[in-house]
Amino acid sequence: MSPRKEEDNVEEQAFLTPLPPDEDAVWSREGGSRRVTRYLRLAVEIVMAVIIVVLLVNPVRERIGVERRPVPKFPRKMYRFLPDPKYVRDDMLFDEHDTLHTLHNWIPLSAVARGYVQIPDYGSYDVLSEPYTVAINRTSDGPAYMMSVFHQLHCLSYLVEHYQQGYAGVELTEEVAHHSAHCIDYLRQSIMCAADTNLEGETDAGPGWGSDHECTDYDVLLSWANEHSAMAWRNGLLPGEAIL
């Protein structure tokens, strides 16, 4: 046999020689550990990918734990704040007649049932307290809730009316004092809740006027309230009546 061929046979035998049993077991354990590590890493990556997809698909409100609410999120709309003599006039507080006739124009700003709306499945909403009992139709009463925006309008109109009466010398009663204090604090908290952060600047229209504000689309809100209202009862009010 040639030296070259003998050398090749030696190398082949060395390459094919099986490992001792103890070394073979160690090699198997190391290979198995690497496979387990690979599978664990793959499983972790799959779980992380699923979590990311769920977070991206779920609405933000669900991620931050905001509870389901019965009133929809209304669209936003830009309004420019300007004085409107239809609703407030500089001279209206000098006379009760003028005050009431001006406040009468506020009535269409409120819902037809004075702001009471029906929520048929109200028991399924954790955020809701017990409803009021109001007239649902001409023959029966039922559960309903007052939308805060209309309560706020009521309070503001009440304060305007009784401010004028106080200016005219009408004696303050305990009931009016209590109701007025309630409305003042209720409006304070309502303003802080809405927290209008639109920025106002100097304009020719005067302080606070002439600036644009991003607001809830009031027409859409009012339409929804009327569609879900309790019994409508303020139709045909006389010009001197201003019940909100």
Q: Which residues contact 170 (CB under 8 A, 6 or more apart)?
A: none
Is residue 114 within 8 A of residue 74, CB to CB? The reply is: no
Q: What is the mean pLDDT of the chain?
A: 85
pLDDT of residue 68: 77
Distances in whole angstroms, Cα of residue 59 to Cα of each of 54, 76, 125: 10, 19, 18
pLDDT band at 63 (very low <50, low <70, confident <90, very high): very low
Indicate the helix (H) or strand (E) that contains 133: strand 132-135
pLDDT of residue 143: 96
Task: Convert the pLDDT of each residue in 14-25 to its tens digit.
Answer: 444 555 555 555
What is the distance between the terminal CA atoms of the chain, rounded to a whole angstrom? 117
From 49-63, 96-110, 208-222, the region with the lowest mean pLDDT = 49-63
- Between CA 244 and CA 131 the distance in angstroms is 20
Residue 59, token pair as written in the block: 């609405």
pTM over 0.75: no
Task: Convert the pLDDT of each residue in 203-221 to its tens digit.
Answer: 999 999 999 999 999 999 9
* Per-residue pLDDT at 105 exceeds 80: yes
